[in-house]
Each structure stands twice: as C-alpha cells, then as structure tokens.
Chain A
Amino acid sequence: MLKIQFDTFTLANGLTVILHPDRSSPLVAVDLWYHVGSKDESPGRTGFAHLFEHLMFMGSRNAPYPAFDAIMEAWGGHNNGTTSNDRTNYYEIGPRNLLETFLWLEADRLATLPDVITEEELEKQRKVVLNERRQSYENRPYGRAELAISEAMYPPDHPYHWPTIGSHADVEAATVADVRAFFDRFYRPSNASLVVAGDFEPAAGRALVERYFGWLPRRDPPVRAPRPPDPRLHADVEMTLTDRVQLPRLRLAWHAPALFAPDDADLDLAAHVLGGGKSSRLYRTLVFEQRIAQDVFAYQGSQILGSLFQAGATAKPGHDLDEIGAAVDAVLARFAAEGPTEAELERARNTHLADFYKGLDYLQTRADLLNHYQHLLGNPDGVGRDLARYDQATRESVRAAFGRALGGKRLALRTVPDPVAA
C-alpha cells in the first residue's frame, strides 16, 4: 500500500506540525491550514473568511506590508491562499534557503496581524475581492448558476447557504472590528496544522518550527456552532436563470452524504461512470450517440457538513433543455436500476487511483493532502483509509448509494441565454 512518509508532533500551544522531507528537488513548501471557512461565518457577514485571507497578506508587526510578498519573491519564492466552505489554507513554495523565512512570516502574521491591520488596507482588499467576484462569477459564463446553487440547496441558516466569495453588500460592510474578532476567534495555533515539505533535514526543520511557532501562547480551540441538521429539500425545485451565454445548460443537484461518510466514495465512482470522460454514460449517450449536448458533467462535491451530487449537460444549438432533461433522466434512471457494470467500476476505480498517484508528483499537492487528512481525520495518515473506500466499493454498493442519494428531492437549475445581452 502506498504511503507518504511523514513525522508529526504537536507543539505545547496546540499547533499540529507535519514534516514531509523530500530531497529530490532543492525546494521547500510550507502549507498552513486553519480550520475555518465560510461555514464559520454568520449571515450578514458572509465572505468574511475569504476577505480575511486577503488581509493576511497586508503585513504583520515585524514584516510590514508589502514585506510578506517582497521578501520571498526576492529569492524566487511564491505563495498564495485559498478559502473554501470548510477551511482556509496558506502556502509558500520556494528554494530551500527560504524555509526559515517562510516559517517566520507565517508565525509573525499569526501572532500580530490584528495589531497592524488598518481601515485603509481593508478598503484596498475589499476592492480586490469585489473584482475577484466579478471576474470569477459575474463576468464568467454560467458563474451566476454557481452562486445560486448553494443558496437554493441550503436553508438560510445553514452555513453552506452563502457562497465563500460572499455577497457584495456583506463584503462592503466588513469592518476592522470584524477582522479583529474573527482573528481572535479562529486564528489560534490550536486551530491550525502546519506541513513543512521538501528539501530539509527533519531535525533542523523541527527546530525551526519550534523556534518560530513554539513561543506562541496556548489558547483553546475555538468553540464552534453545533453541526446543523442534515439539509433536505422538501420538494423538487425548478429554477431558471438568464446569463450572457450562447447555449442553455441544465444542472441537477441532490443532497448527498458528507466527505468520508458512508456512500461518499461510492458516489464519487458513480459520478465517474456517469460523467467522467468520453466513455462515461452521459457523454456516450448525449454527446456521442444522440449529439444533443456540447458537454456533460457529473460529480460528487464532497464537503464536511454534507455534499452535493450534481449532474447535467449543455445543449447543442438546435436542442433545448426539455430534450436534455429527458435524456439525462433516462441515463440516470437506468444507472439507478442496474448500477455500474464490472468493467465500468474497474475503469472508475483505476482512474481514481491513477489520478491520486499523479497528484503525488508535486510537492505542494502532497503537503496539501497531508493537511487535508489532518483537517478531516485528525491525523495526516489518511491515504490508506481514503483509498480503501474506493477499493471496497462494489457494483451493488455503488448502485445502492446512488439510489439513496438520488431518491431525495432535487434542484433543476436552468441557465438560458439572456435575450438582450447574449
């Protein structure tokens, strides 16, 4: 069984540390996950976890703006951060001589960010984020559907109801006091895990982590809102949006079990059989044989508080979404009845495993994977457990999981060309 070699330990202040040496290139990666995402926001303050991520680059006491980027880029390092519903990550990659600098920069912003943040910096990043919203959703084809789907699938008080990018009004309304409160609540060593990967000596790496993070005081992990009840749609929902697109697209969504819950991996495999590439059932039927669709998709969007299983297609010119809907339903109904063939299951399983191997090639992906398991399972040693879920799936388990998820009510979201703007 494949393993990713690592050592793990916890600092007295609660920070989980994972070391993954790999001397094959003269590079290091530092990957720091905070166990906070847009699910930890409140209605009226949406988009805050992501806006906060931007502010983490606006300087700290000992590395005032723009030192964070300037110091590492001076030596050829680069960095970024990402925010999802469930977590926020920050990473740096660069030559091995930057390892100590990376750790110093991350520790300094974890220690001192709220002391230096100003209204002016908040205002600048607010503008950047609002541009990101326009670029990624408002001025991108089918972007409006992406924003609409979580809103339609989750009730207003469920933390997945609002998108990670947040609403325009909420991003506008964020204050420096919000920044300080959010930092105080979630940015604690005990609510984070740190992976150091690449070209370093383990003992020296450990000493550096202790030097820069060890002095930070211990604070208890944040108190979290109780896990909300599993969301359910009580009736099928039909929605139609207009967008600046040439072709109409149908998107179907069902609630599905959470990441790592029973059925999650089976639904991943089901999605592959239905929409994963040219030999998949939706592609074969709608694109290849009937030639009514330009593209098809199916995926299990796995998240901690619950997943969405989605499938759909984009109509070719001359075909409409009623025709597409009937064809997609027919494919899904047949799959629900018979499950995958042995050959389909083998292809889906092999593709999944091969994709996993391919991901291991890049240092930063390995670092991120160790943090992913730590975040999810409380232990970076998750490869075996993760892959076993796919190994154990059978034709019957995939069929049954699919039947359970798609037995519930669903959302049918149609995006149609805006007659004025298209």
Chain B
Amino acid sequence: MIATPDTMATAPVVGPLPTVIPPQATRFALENGLEVVLVPRQVAPIVSAALMIRSGAGIDSPEKAGLASLTAEMLDEGAGGRDALGIAEELERLGADLWLGSGRDGSQLSLQSPRETFAEALDIAADVLIRPRLGAGDWERVVSDRRTACAQRRDQPEAVVSVVSDRVLFGDDHPYGRPAEGLERTIDRLTLDDVRAFHTGHWRPNHAFLVVAGDFDETALRARLDSVFAAWRPAPVPASPTPPPWPTRPRLVIVDRPGAPQSVVRLVAPGTNRLSIDRSGLAMLNAILGGSFTSRLNFNLREKNGFTYGASSSFAFLHHPGSFAARAAVFAESTAPAVREMLAELAGLRERPATAEEHAKARATLLMRVAEGLSTTGGIAATFGEIGLYDLPLDEPLRFAAALERTTADDLRALAVRYVDPDAASIVIVGDRAAIEPGLRELGLPAAVIYDTDGERL
C-alpha cells in the first residue's frame, strides 16, 4: 500500500466555468437568395461546409418513404461534365469528402477539404447541387443498393428498434413514422421522375442555408461563392403537408428475434418540437435522466445492476413534435427487471425531483457540449447548419446558454410531470419473445403486440 501525500487527500478546488464565446460569424445573402454564414477557424488547415435544404424525409408521403434521401444520394451520381466515378475520382484527388443525405427536417450537402483545394471542391459541389444528371442507369443501381440496404437493416437490432418505435409512436400516416431511408416496399414505388420533381421543387437557393467554417480567405471565398452559385435560380417551393396528430398506441411491442443474447429495449413517448420554449429545460431534464454517464438511467442499469453496457435517453426536437426515448441493450435474462427499472426512473423524475447537484451538472454538461461543438470546424458547420435549418438567430448558442441559467428546479419538476410519464410510454423490445414474455407479464404489462422488423403489426 502506497502512502499518498497531502496534495492527494482532497479534491482540487475547481474555479468557475469558462464563458462560452461563440466564434465570430458573418452572415449575408447571395443575389439568388441563398443565405450564407462564414465562420473562420485556423487550427487545422481545412474547411468544412454544410449546405442545408429545408425539406427532408419529413415531407415524404408514408407510401413513398425514402424519396428525400434518395434524391440527395442521386445528386453526385453524375453532374456537370462528370459521371459518377469522375466526380468520385476528382474529389479524392482534391482530398475532399462530399456527403449527401436527408434527415427528418432537412437535406444536406456536406463538404470538407484541405484549404488549398476547397475552391475546386466547391465547384464540384455546385455542379452536384445545380446540374445533377439524374440518369436512368445510375438510378437503377442506386435504388437497388438502397433496397438491399433496407433489407440489411433487419440484421441490426438497434436499427430495427428505431424503425418500429417510430412507427408505434407516430402512427401509420405520419412521415416521421417511416425511416428516412425508406422501406423496401416504399422504395419500389419510387421513380426517377419523383426524384427529379423533388430536386426541382426543393433544392432551391431560397430554401437553403450555407455555412462555411475553417481556414479560408474571406474576400476570395465570397467572390467564389458569388460565381459558383450564380446559375442556381430561386423558385417557389411546394408547401409542406401537415402531419396527423399523435395516434393511440400499444403499451408493449415485441419484435421477435429468437435466440437473441440481448434484448434491445426502447421506451418512447411524445416529445416536443425544435422551437418549443421547453427545449432547454427538457435538455437539462434529459441530462439528469439519461444524457450522461452519471445519469440516473445509466447509473441504475449499468453501474448498480450490471444489466447493460449503457443506458441513455434523449428528446428529438424536430420541426413537428418529435420523440422522447429511453434506451438500453440488456442481457436477455435481465429484460423484465431492466424494463421495471427504466419505468421506475421515468417515474422517479417526478417522485425524486432533480437535486441541486444534478441541476448544476445538467447545466454544465450542456454548456460544455456547446463549447465542444464549437471547437471543431465540423462542429461549427453542424451547429450553424442547425441554426439555418430551423431559421434560428445566429446567437442561438448564447440564447441556449442563457436559457439554461434561467431554468429553475420548479421548471424541471413541471416539465417532468408534463413530458416524462412512465404510464404513457410505449415499450418496444427487439428480443427473444419466448424467453422474455413471461417476465414482462409478471410486471403487470398487457399482452405484447407483435410487430415485424419493418414496423408492420402482425
């Protein structure tokens, strides 16, 4: 046994948290209406850009799920003077990464390259945005690969639980109820004409927002943006459909995975939207419940009980109200006790309100997450990209920080009552039905409703 000196006996005094100072951002609009934000950062010799389109999978009709994301994916399959492989080769020569995809509320083109080649990479990005070929041969290949990827999702219990949870929570007629990537049967309905129409309708500069972060010369970059995007013309964008209200939903759902060594468990309930004034308070509540290692869920399920490698929770704050979810992958034989403890922790947020320590932890955790997000060019592009997507003010990080300061213990208690109701949550489990059902019945849960891996009720 080693004798430790006095210096070790007590924890060092911790000084005040540093203030989060967001980087200087310059905002302007191009002649075609494209809003641009430039954020310099000269730590690594790279530039990151995020171009956000304010339409994503959330406007796909349920029977055509996958359209927004396949449109994004098709754009770099040949554009301007290059075919698909020609684009890939040129980007690699430039050391540039180009990524296209769609989430619920937006579609995105991301570009990251060394500073020396960013201008050339931007030329390719502009081709992809403005002059995609959208050719039949490429479509046939891309749609076939996507179809197979959707089938492969059945291999991944974490992916399956997401598909089924969204379907259960949002219902059959809400676009958030289908995976953004689509399902085999919805992809089979899509045509190249759908893709062309989505591109023509939604990929417009007046419906977009561009962030460029990193090591660039501002004057040269502004001139370059003016010229590369000059041919991109604005047009009225189709109105978005209004989604249906929350459906009634089953209490317990099982997707059978015979012989599975783990059960992948998710508790889902309605959350709220990105612009809700409750967002900052819910983020704090979530940090306490399942948003950090020492959160109540992880501490109970992992550290106290050893049921899992990790338990967590989250709110998805989307354009339309999103989900609240608590999640863990647990030993199959621990499924029922794990569900019991998860429900108890949800109830506990009302019965045992946040302590002063938890409150301070939640605030510090979220503040430092903002600071860390702003500490890389990719993080800056993501932070300001979200600001653009939801049309938030540029000083959103500071407003969020201020809102965290204002949130009181009473606020958190009220939010817990309103949003975290264990009796309102649906419990979705991907696991070995025969092995786990008896234990779940003993918890007093109703009979399970059985779903398939695509989110269809059997």
The chain A residues found within 8 Å of chain B, CB to CB, are: 2, 22, 24-27, 61-63, 66-67, 69-71, 73-78, 93-98, 100-101, 104, 107-108, 111-112, 115, 123-128, 130-132, 134-136, 138-141, 199, 211-212, 215, 217, 244-247, 276-279, 284, 287-288, 291, 294, 316-317, 343, 346-348, 350-351, 353-355, 357-358, 360-363, 421
Contacts and interface: CB of A to CB of B under 8 A. Distances in A.
Contacts of B365: 73, 76, 78
A298 B408 CA distance: 53
Given A123-B306, A131-B262, A288-B85, 14 more contacts: A62-B10, A66-B294, A74-B360, A97-B18, A98-B14, A104-B12, A246-B152, A247-B151, A291-B144, A316-B148, A346-B93, A347-B92, A348-B92, A357-B114
A36 B366 CA distance: 34
Contact of A361 (B85, B144, B378): B378
Nearest to A417: B155
Nearest to B151: A246
B89 A211 contact: no
Interface string B26-46: 000000000000000101111
A245 B309 contact: no
Contacts of A69: 293-294
A70 to B, nearest CB: 5
Using C-beta atoms within 8 Å of the partner chain, give the interface range for chain B: 35 or more
Interface string B416-447: 00000000000000000000000000000000
Contact of B43 (A96, A100, A125, A360): A360
Given A140-B156, A284-B85, A354-B95, A76 B4 contact: no
Nearest to B76: A278
A343 B89 contact: yes
Contact of B17 (A22, A95, A126, A343): A95
20 contacts: A73-B361, A75-B368, A76-B368, A101-B11, A111-B2, A115-B2, A130-B331, A131-B331, A134-B261, A277-B88, A279-B92, A288-B141, A316-B144, A347-B92, A350-B93, A357-B44, A357-B114, A358-B97, A362-B376, A363-B375
Given A76-B369, A360-B44, A70 B2 contact: no
A61 B88 contact: no
A22 to B, nearest CB: 7
B329 A131 contact: yes
A219 B97 CA distance: 47
Given A25-B374, A350-B95, A362-B375, A357 B46 contact: yes
B14 A135 contact: no
Contacts, number: 227
A421 B258 contact: yes
A292 B142 CA distance: 13
Contacts of B11: 62-63, 67, 71, 101, 104
Given A78-B292, A107-B8, A139 B18 contact: no
B7 A211 contact: yes
Contacts of A101: 11-12, 14
B316 interface: no
Contact of B141 (A67, A98, A291): A291
Contacts of B260: 139
A215 B9 CA distance: 13
Interface residues of chain A: helix, strand, loop or mixed (majority): helix
Given A104-B8, A347-B92, A75 B364 contact: yes
Q: Looking at chain B's contact residues, is the secondary structure mostly helix, strand, loop, or mixed?
A: mixed
Contacts of B152: 141, 245-247, 294
Interface in B142-185: 144-145, 148-149, 151-152, 154-157
Given A141-B155, A246-B155, A278 B372 contact: no
Nearest to A2: B45
B217 interface: no
Contacts of A78: 292-293, 365
A277 B88 CA distance: 8
B372 A73 contact: no
B285 to A, nearest CB: 16
Interface in B260-312: 260-262, 264, 292-294, 299, 302-303, 306-309
Nearest to B140: A291
A24 B84 contact: no
Nearest to B299: A66
Interface string B182-204: 00000000000000000000000
B43 A358 contact: no
B112 interface: yes
A287 B361 contact: no
Interface in B1-25: 1-2, 4-5, 7-12, 14-21
B377 interface: yes
B113 interface: yes
B357 A74 contact: yes
Given A70-B294, A73-B293, A347-B92, A95 B330 contact: no
Given A66-B294, A112-B2, A294-B145, A246 B154 contact: yes
Contacts of A353: 95, 114
A75 B366 CA distance: 10
Contact of A278 (B85, B95, B378): B85
B367 interface: yes
A363 to B, nearest CB: 7
A23 B417 CA distance: 42
A74 B331 CA distance: 30
B41 A24 contact: yes
A108 to B, nearest CB: 6
Contacts of B257: 244
A94 B96 CA distance: 30
B306 A361 contact: no
A27 B43 contact: no
A61 B4 contact: yes
Contacts of B307: 127, 131
A416 to B, nearest CB: 13
B292 A294 contact: no
B228 interface: no
Nearest to A97: B15
Contacts of B19: 26
Given A74-B364, A294-B145, A128 B18 contact: no
Given A75-B14, A97-B15, A131-B329, A350 B92 contact: yes
B94 interface: yes
Given A134-B331, A284-B85, A139 B157 contact: yes
Interface string B77-100: 000000011001100111111000
